[in-house]
């Protein structure tokens, strides 16, 4: 009986000792973490930028064709199906693949004949062409029926190497920010440490320089022969791509 009591007392003392040691280690960890949190963390935050002007090599051109009559009496109608076949043939002859010819919209309106007091429906279609050669624009417009064309405008533009340019601009912006941080710290006898944080703004400017919303002027400006757009009326402006990064560096 005495032996059993002695063993239980030893186990109780051993358990209390373990609890005391565990609490001491935990207290030391809390004290250490508190010291680290209170220690000053010095850093510098900088912004780096990079820009480049490029000339778009892809243009999206919208052309609207409308049915019409050859006479005022509402006879001899030129149907949209015939206009469409002629349009597609001209586009294909100028190297525009069928995959780059799409129908953007279909519409129509009713025309009232003043002589016969009758109504007739005239359909229209808007096509979107994807072009990589500006010379093809004049070739296509010159061969289309001018009476069928109601509008020609640029709906968009792109640059085939845009992804590669954006990658290069990000790298340039990162280097610009790092150089800026380095010489700023050098001025106060400090040195640049490791990169702590980074943030990249996708600020790629798809706006033409010196233009509001259009890169192309044609169709509405006849040439000296009155046969279509003047080549000099095409004004294909450059666009600007840019990248901005925000970096946070440790100060040594």
- Residue 127 is predicted with a pLDDT of 93
80-89, 218-227, 238-247, range with the lowest pLDDT: 218-227
Backbone φ/ψ region at 113: left (φ over 0), alpha (ψ -120 to 50), beta: beta
Over residues 175-183, the mean pLDDT reads 96
pLDDT at 177: 96
Q: Please give the average per-residue pLDDT across 223-238, as a whole number.
A: 50
Q: Which residue has the tokens 């129908």?
A: 103
Q: What is the mean pLDDT of residues 146-165?
A: 87
Which SS3 state, helix, strand or coil, does residue 125 take? strand
Residue 131: pLDDT above 80? yes
Distance from C-alpha of 226 to C-alpha of 232, rounded to nearest angstrom: 14
Tell me which of 3.30.110.170, 3.10.100.10, 3.50.50.60, 3.30.70.100 is the CATH number of domain 39-57+159-214+231-252: 3.30.110.170
Q: How far is CA 108 from the centre of its chain?
A: 33
Give me the pLDDT at residue 221, please: 40
Q: Is the pLDDT of residue 222 over 60?
A: no
| Angle, CA 170 vertex, CA 167 and CA 175 arms, to 5° | 130
Mean pLDDT (the chain, rounded): 75
The CATH class, in words, for 58-158 is: alpha beta
Is the pLDDT at 209 greater than 60? The verdict is no
pLDDT digit string, tens, across residues 50-62: 999 888 888 889 9
Q: Which pTM does this prediction carry?
A: 0.57
pLDDT score recorded for residue 204: 55
Extended beta strands in 37-112, E state: 43-54, 58-66, 68-69, 77-78, 101-112
Q: Tell me if 248 sits within 8 A of 180, measured CB to CB.
A: no
Encoding tokens for residue 30?
Answer: 């809390």
Mean pLDDT on 171-181? 96
Residue (of 81, 83, 86, 69) closest to 121 by Cα position:
69
And the tokens for 138?
């004049």
pLDDT value, residue 141: 87
User: CA-based Rg of the chain, rounded to a whole angstrom?
Assistant: 37
| pLDDT 10s digits, 24-81 | 444 444 444 444 455 457 999 999 999 998 888 888 899 999 998 887 766 788 899 9
Q: Closest by alpha carbon to 173, among 247, 240, 238? A: 247
Residues in CB range of 98: below 8 A, 6 or more apart: 88, 92
The mean pLDDT of 112-119, rounded to a whole number, is 55
| CB 93 within 8 Å of CB 142 | no
User: Is the confidence at residue 198, as pLDDT, over 60?
Assistant: yes
Q: Is the pLDDT of residue 210 over 50?
A: no
Q: Where are the domains of the chain?
A: 39-57+159-214+231-252, 58-158
When comparing pLDDT for 15 and 6, which is higher? 15
State the Cα angle at 183 between 177 and 187, rounded to 5°: 145
* Residue 184 confidence (pLDDT): 94
> Is residue 116 predicted with pLDDT exceeding 80?
no
pLDDT confidence bin for 155, thresholds 50/70/90: confident
pLDDT at 223: 44
CA distance 62 to 58: 13
- Over range 91-104, report the average pLDDT: 90
**pLDDT category, 8, cuts 50, 70, 90?**
low
pLDDT, position 157: 80
């Amino acid at each position: 009986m005495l032996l059993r009591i002695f063993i239980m007392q030893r186990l109780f003392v051993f358990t209390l000792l373990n609890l005391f040691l565990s609490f001491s280690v935990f207290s030391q960890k809390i004290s250490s973490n508190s010291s680290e949190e209170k220690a000053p963390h010095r850093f510098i935050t900088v912004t780096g930028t990079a820009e480049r002007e490029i000339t778009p090599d892809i243009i999206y051109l919208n052309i609207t064709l409308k049915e019409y009559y050859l006479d005022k009496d509402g006879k001899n109608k030129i149907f949209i199906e015939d206009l469409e076949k002629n349009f597609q043939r001209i586009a294909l002859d100028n190297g525009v693949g069928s995959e780059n010819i799409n129908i953007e919209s279909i519409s129509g309106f009713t025309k009232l004949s003043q002589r016969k007091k009758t109504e007739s429906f005239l359909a229209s279609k808007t096509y979107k062409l994807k072009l990589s050669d500006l010379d093809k624009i004049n070739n296509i417009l010159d061969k289309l029926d001018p009476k069928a064309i109601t509008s020609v405008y640029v709906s968009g533009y792109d640059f085939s190497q845009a992804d590669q340019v954006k990658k290069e601009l990000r790298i340039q912006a990162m280097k610009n920010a790092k150089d800026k941080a380095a010489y700023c710290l050098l001025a106060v006898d400090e040195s640049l440490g490791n990169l702590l944080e980074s943030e990249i703004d996708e600020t790629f400017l798809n706006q033409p320089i010196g233009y509001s919303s259009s890169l192309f002027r044609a169709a509405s400006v006849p040439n000296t022969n009155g046969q279509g757009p003047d080549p000099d009326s095409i004004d294909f402006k450059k666009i600007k791509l840019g990248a901005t990064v925000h970096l946070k560096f440790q100060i040594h």
